[in-house]
Amino acid sequence: MNLETARSRAEELKQQIARADHRYYVLDDPELTDAEYDVLVRELQALEGDFPALRTADSPTARVAGAPSEKFRPVTHRVPMLSLSNAFSDEELVEFDTRVHKVLGPEEVTYVCEPKLDGLAVELTYVDGQLVEGATRGDGNVGEDVTANLRTIRVVPLALRRPADGPPAPPRFEVRGEVFLRRADFARLNARREKEGEPLYVNPRNTAAGSLRQLDPAITAARPLSFFAYELGGWGDDAGTGPFTRHTEKLAWLAAAGCPVNPENRRVQGLEGVRAAYGDFLARRHALAYDVDGMVVKLDGEDARRRLGQVSRSPRWAVAYKFAPEEARTKVESIEVNVGRTGALTPVAFLTPVQVGGVTVSRATLHNPLELKRKDVRVGDQVFVRRAGDVIPEIVKVIDSVRTGDEQEYVFPERCPVCGAAAVMDEDGAILRCTGLDCPAQLQARLQHFASRGGMDIEGLGDKLAEQLVESGQVKRAADLYRLDLPTLTGLERMGEKSAQNFLAALERSKHPPLRRFLYALGIRHVGEATARALADHFKDVRALYDADVEALTRVKDVGPEMAKVIGGFFAEEKNREGVEALLAAGVSPQPPEDTSRGPFAGKTVVLTGTLGALTREQAKEEVERRGGKVSGSVSRKTDFVVAGEESGSKLKKAAELGVRVLDERAFLDLLAAAS
């Protein structure tokens, strides 16, 4: 290759890397896999090595990737936050070790090996032991001020302790570390979003980065971020790392001062020690509580680090020994939808089987319609697929450059492929849901909602029993619950005769619920307890909802056009009306709302405080609401009664200050009886 050809290719690579950096670090929306990005950087490094004239000050190889966002105040790091050079093979690790020995001599050196977390690097500044500023790495020299967001992370110390051993802290110093999401926290976060009908996050790294760079700290606080400290940035007036002679001494001091330090960090001797640590981390990578993409190898001695120094963008005394990417190229053979327990229709790509991370992969999740559209995955596409642990693999990227034109876009079904009920898209276009009341795919979750205290209040119908009833085929719709008998129930695992009798009694007691609880039990999307009450008060009978159109439904208090469409669509679905009729035929008789226009609670606002002996808080609330009252969580001048049980607290005191009428439990029960 001549110089001009190399120059042209180098410019092309710089543009591709710059675009990838911007999307990854600034927009939190990467378009290249880590492996693809590394290939580009290494090709550019090789070109600059062969043709030194191509190495320019603005080259991606000469600086840390990323740029500070304009949304946050810029913060200049006292000591640049460098990125690490990478090693992808044992040969490259040997080259790193050889370079170290060229400077330090033939004696065996001590390394520190640390899991390379897939998160976001930050720097915390402490003055007189108090956290005063926190910033992202940014471009290595200038980061973003995210102090308010970092303060919401529970494990980030707002004040540091004085360690019993080691030097006292100077007036000012900087702590560097990684903000990340543990896999279990990420799974819980996505489970919550799925329950709330929100689009699912794609991976922990992007979610952590996006969470830390929110303009509203309350959003960051709602996400379970974690933090590990791994380095000191500066110590006192000195830009160095103070009186410590070893990196392990710094880590021990940070831990003693109250900073969380990764317990997986280990001190090893020489190259063989590094290899052993790498093999152990690689074998356990999926058993760790967080995502890792390699192992960081650092010299332990501070003097050895100073002697080795750094190049323009990375230290010579450390390297990131990367794990082989768990990605492979394959073809999308077909796309189908799975129906989840909440009715969400999730697209799944069926692939030409391919080995990924030592496992044969033949399918990959596409998450939701928005993600499918964003990635533009089509049947017949060549794609990169990634697997991480036991998680269902996902398609990372479509290789659109090899498209032939024969690829087919996927069209989502209009009806549920399991039960045939209408499939309706959420307002934000993120989730397509089955509206079927008795859809087998979501039956277990629906049964548990049906039996909940706010619904039919069927005591004893927990997840284990619901699972057994569904898997045994004894219950195919909610109405089948009322056809269960003692022999059937006692034939189930861990169901004794007494438990079975209690459950049958609970079923019998549930047959005459208030209409509002019956409507809530049906599990209509967007219909919570308050909306169910409003519908019951307005329509008086469940069959009156069968033909209610959007106009009629919007006359109900707090029901807007979008909610009216969902409710109307539910009752317009013939299968759902059949499910309701089956319940009525099984002996369920929803009771119309009582006249609550009169009586001591009609139109009154009641606050409950303390513990009642005769009723639970939920039962007391229900009794008040059944008589036309409203239960509030706080005392104000608009409060009509405060019901004070045992161990009443600040609400009772506030009632006395405002002159609000206070009822003890006996007076409250008498008032309930008078209003019955």
**Mind listing the pLDDT tens digit for each residue in 298-318?**
999 999 999 999 886 789 999
CATH 3.40.50.10190 domain locations along the chain: 605-674
Specify the DSSP class assigned to residue 215: S
For the CA atoms of the chain, what is the radius of gyration? Answer: 31
What pLDDT score was predicted for residue 26?
Answer: 45
User: 75-322: which CATH number, 3.90.1150.10, 3.40.50.1100, 3.20.20.100, 3.30.470.30?
Assistant: 3.30.470.30
Cα–Cα distance list, 197 to 201, 205, 344, 676 (Å): 12, 22, 9, 39
The DSSP element (H or E) to which 76 belongs, if any, is strand 74-76
CATH 1.10.287.610 domain locations along the chain: 3-62
Amino acid at position 343, single letter: G
Q: CATH for 605-674?
A: 3.40.50.10190
What pLDDT score was predicted for residue 27?
Answer: 53
Domain 435-585 has CATH 1.10.150.20: yes
What pLDDT score was predicted for residue 110?
Answer: 96
What residues contact 109, with CB distance under 8 A and at least 6 apart?
A: 100, 101, 270, 299, 300, 301, 304
| Positions marked catalytic | 116
336 vs 348: CA distance, rounded Å: 5
Phi/psi at 47 (nearest 5 deg)?
-60, -45
CATH 2.40.50.140 domain locations along the chain: 327-409
What pLDDT score was predicted for residue 509?
Answer: 94
Fold of 327-409: OB fold (Dihydrolipoamide Acetyltransferase, E2P) (2.40.50)
Domain 3-62 -> CATH class: mainly alpha
Give the strand pairing for 661-663 and 641-644: parallel
The DSSP element (H or E) to which 296 belongs, if any, is strand 292-299
Q: Are 227 and 156 in contact (CB under 8 A)?
A: yes
* The two three-digit tokens of residue 152, written as one number: 């919401």
What pLDDT score was predicted for residue 538?
Answer: 92
What pLDDT score was predicted for residue 242?
Answer: 79
What pLDDT score was predicted for residue 47?
Answer: 86
CATH 3.30.470.30 domain locations along the chain: 75-322
Residues of the chain with pLDDT below 50 are 25-26, 28, 63-66, 68
Residue 216 CA to chain centroid, in angstroms?
17
β-pair partners for 117: 292
CATH 1.10.150.20 domain locations along the chain: 435-585
Model pTM above 0.95: no
Site of tokens 């919570």: 528
